[in-house]
Structure 1
């Protein structure tokens, strides 16, 4: 049976890690098409580049989140773009997804649960052409595109619509694609956690690298992963160590991760404190004037 074509979208400068992910799809024998608005982007050998306008023509405009987590990220645009592609019945993969095996299921429906069983991942998707789930998703994204918040147009939306149309029974187990959750993405960098990660994804089709978390902690994606880490193994398998001029020690990644955790905790405590605070006192002033009074 002919293998299906895999599609994705990329905006901006691609790091070696995006190249690594796409190269893993090609390595498993799949035809790969990368849609982009950037003419100078380099795709790995075996992948094809196509203009993004073929799917979503916005005159070069890229939708980005404006507030909160992910502010400035083109992931908002990617969500609308992916739904336009999936509406055609095609496979969609995010550019921070590594393919571990070549035996994709012969199905027109692929969504997998994340660690939170009430949430579906959208990093890897396929639904039947003209699916009502995707039809509704496109309509809802377009309605909130100027004020959308992270998650609103992605997993939360698709999870709700899959439930609405009674398709939850078709969803794949999290081990298929999201065994390593974004809350433990640091294990991908930790040499001491490599065996644990390898064991947990041994039967997985994919592993999601959670690029937005990397951005949130400030990981410089032009540099290589810590030596001996699970990511290091992926570089050896699908790329080469020559992809990077230098490596980041795990101690630095650990510090960046802890700093983000500290910032998130402080922000949560601040929100809780404000929600519990007594309302600010209100003041009213009145003035009396005497007619004819002289100053």
Structure 2
């Protein structure tokens, strides 16, 4: 990716003023990987329970809720129009992508100009290249309606995401036929709870031998 993209995301580059910039770079980077046929994207905090091999000829995204899709498990064919939208942004000089809605694309930038604030992607919102951006583009290109069920990777979201630490809910997600894995969204130290009987502790126990093993041995075990 051109270095100018970093400067557009954050004028303070190489000294980033916001951690949001790093997240947004990652959002753009994963789409560029798909442009170069590098396969499916899975966030590092996705815990897989089943093999996941989406059809390489079709886009894959799963609903996070009724209104948007998640981007922690994502695949787009290399010639998909959503990728071309990102390519156009990377090649352009304007600070914000053209797919934003009225509030983030028009009203907030107008307010920033009136108050003398910098108009940067980080200032406008962390999800403009992620959940919100991909959801808008998925609707534009007619694939939102074909998104996979929420249960594929986002069985619990929002406040319910902490249920993975609660033994009262146990292994409930695994009983659903559409369940493939879980995006562990809530993982800051204030919410993590190591309670026996919870989905989280069960998941940790399954890979504990790999976590305790030297890296080389763990890789050989996985293979």
TM-score bracket for this pair, using the shorter chain length: 0.5 to 0.7
Which residue, 125, 131, 153 being the options, matches 1:149?
A: 125
Q: Residues 130, 184 of structure 1: CA spacing in aligned structure 2 closer, same or farther, 3 A cutoff?
A: same
Identify the match of residue 134 of structure 2 among 152, 155, 158: 158
- Secondary structure in 2 matching 1:129: coil
Alignment-derived partner of residue 76 in structure 1: 24
SS of structure 1 residue aligned to 2:126 = coil
Matched residues, number: 174
Alpha-carbon shift at residue 159 of structure 1 (Å): 1.0
Any idea what SS the aligned residue of 1:184 has?
helix
Task: Decide which of 83, 86, 96 is 1:137's aligned counterpart.
Answer: 86
* 2:182 equivalent to 1:214: no
Q: Of 74, 88, 104, which residue of structure 1 is paired with 2:36? A: 88
Q: TM-score, normalised by structure 2?
A: 0.65
Structure 2: runs of 5 or more not aligned? 13-17, 97-120, 213-223
- Measure how far apart 1:191 and its partner are: 1.5
For residues 211 and 31 of structure 2, the distance between their equivalents in structure 1, rounded to whole angstroms, comes to: 36
Deviation at 1:152, TM superposition (A): 1.8
1:12-31 aligned at under 5 Å gives the runs none
Q: Tell me which protein shows more helix as a share of its residues.
A: 2
2:179 aligns with one of 181, 204, 222: 204
Could you say which residue in structure 1 is the equivalent of 2:198?
Answer: 229
**Structure 1: gaps (5+ residues):** 1-55, 244-295
Is the 1:104–1:205 Cα contact (8 Å) retained in structure 2? Answer: no
How far apart in 1 are the matches of 2:174 and 2:32?
34
CA shift digits 1:79-137 (9 cap, x unpaired): 111111122232111111111101523343211111x2120111111111032112213
Q: Hey, which of these two has a bigger chunk of strand by percent?
A: 1
Q: List 4+ stretches of structure 1 deviating above 6 A.
A: 61-64
1:268-295 Cα distance to aligned partner (Å, 9 max, x none): xxxxxxxxxxxxxxxxxxxxxxxxxxxx
Q: Structure 2 matches for 1:1-295, cutoff 5 A?
A: 56=1, 58=3, 72-73=19-20, 74-89=22-37, 90-108=39-57, 109-114=59-64, 116-140=65-89, 143-144=95-96, 145=121, 147-200=123-176, 203-210=178-185, 213-215=186-188, 218-219=190-191, 225-240=194-209, 243=212
Q: Would the aligned equivalents of 2:173 and 2:179 in 1 still touch at CA under 8 Å?
A: no
* Whole-Å separation in 2 of the counterparts to 1:241 and 1:219: 24
C-alpha contact 1:137 1:158 (8 A) present in aligned 2:
no
